[in-house]
C-alpha cells in the first residue's frame, strides 16, 4: 500500500521493468479504474501503466502514455494476467543556475518490444510546470483500482542518452521510421 520510491536517486538512466495487470473480478470495472499505476521517472514525470487491452480510456492516459501529455505511438498492451515489459532510456532535464529549463526531460520507450515513445519531450511534471531539481528516486505509483504487479526491475544510472539512443532504438524488433 502506498507509493514505492527507490532508495537511490537517479538522473539520466536506462530502466527495465516488468508488470502485470490483474484480471478484473467485476465486469463493470473499466477505464482508469481497471489496472492503473505509473512509473514516475525522477519522482515527477509519469509513464502510465494501465490495462489498455480492450479497455477504452483517454489517449494520454493509456498504457505507455506520458500521462496527460503524449499518447503512445501504438497500443502494445497484452491481456490482463500476462507479464509485460517497459524498456526506458531517459534523459534528465537540464536547468540553468536560476532554475530555467535549458533542456526538457526526454525518453525513448519500448513496451513489449514495440517503440511507443520516440525521443519524446516531457512538457513538465504531472500536472505541474518544470521546477529545477537534481537527481530524484524512481517512484512506482499506488493507484485506486490498481491490481498491478511488478518484477525484474533494474536501473543503469548515468548513461549517455545521446550516445546510447541509436543503439537502444535498434536493439528491439521495432525499427523507428
Q: What is the pLDDT of residues 39-56, one digit of tens each?
A: 999 999 999 998 877 767
Q: Looking at 4-135, list the stretches that DSSP marks H as alpha helix, in order from N- to C-terminal side.
A: none
Residue 61 is predicted with a pLDDT of 75
Confidence band for 77, pLDDT divided at 50, 70 and 90? very high
Q: Quote the pTM value.
A: 0.90
The share of the chain scoring above pLDDT 70, in percent, equals 87
Who contacts 57 (Cβ-Cβ below 8 Å, separation ≥6)? 31, 32, 50
* Residue range 68-80: mean pLDDT, rounded: 93
Who contacts 162 (Cβ-Cβ below 8 Å, separation ≥6)? 91
* Residue range 129-157: mean pLDDT, rounded: 88
Confidence band for 31, pLDDT divided at 50, 70 and 90? low
Confidence band for 27, pLDDT divided at 50, 70 and 90? low
Q: Taking all residues of the chain, what is their mean pLDDT, rounded to a whole number?
A: 88
CA–CA separation, 37 and 140 (whole Å) = 7
Confidence band for 145, pLDDT divided at 50, 70 and 90? low
Model pLDDT for residues 90-109, shown as the tens digit of each residue:
999 999 999 999 999 999 99
CA–CA separation, 139 and 49 (whole Å) = 12
Residue 9 is predicted with a pLDDT of 97
The share of the chain scoring above pLDDT 90, in percent, equals 68
Encode 42-74: b = buried (16+ Cβ within 10 Å), e = exposed.
bbbbbbbbbbbbebebeeebbbbbbbeebbbbe
Q: In terms of pLDDT, which residue wins out, 25 or 104?
A: 104
Confidence band for 1, pLDDT divided at 50, 70 and 90? low
Amino acid at each position: 500500500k502506498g507509493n514505492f520510491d527507490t532508495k537511490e536517486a537517479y538522473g539520466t538512466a536506462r530502466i527495465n521493468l516488468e508488470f502485470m495487470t490483474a484480471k478484473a473480478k467485476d465486469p463493470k470495472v473499466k477505464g482508469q479504474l481497471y489496472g492503473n499505476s505509473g512509473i514516475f521517472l525522477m519522482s515527477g514525470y509519469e509513464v502510465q501503466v494501465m490495462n489498455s487491452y480492450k479497455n477504452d480510456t483517454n489517449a494520454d492516459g493509456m498504457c505507455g502514455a506520458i500521462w496527460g501529455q503524449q499518447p503512445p505511438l501504438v497500443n502494445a498492451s497484452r491481456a490482463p494476467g500476462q507479464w509485460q515489459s517497459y524498456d526506458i532510456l531517459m534523459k534528465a532535464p537540464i536547468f540553468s543556475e536560476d532554475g530555467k529549463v535549458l533542456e526538457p526531460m526526454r525518453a525513448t520507450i519500448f513496451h513489449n518490444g514495440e517503440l511507443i515513445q520516440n525521443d519524446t519531450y516531457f512538457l513538465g511534471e504531472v500536472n505541474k510546470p518544470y521546477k529545477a531539481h537534481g537527481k530524484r528516486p524512481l517512484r512506482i505509483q499506488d493507484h485506486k483500482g490498481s491490481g498491478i504487479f511488478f518484477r525484474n526491475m533494474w536501473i543503469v544510472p548515468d548513461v549517455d542518452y545521446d550516445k546510447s539512443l541509436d543503439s537502444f532504438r535498434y536493439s528491439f524488433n521495432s525499427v523507428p521510421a
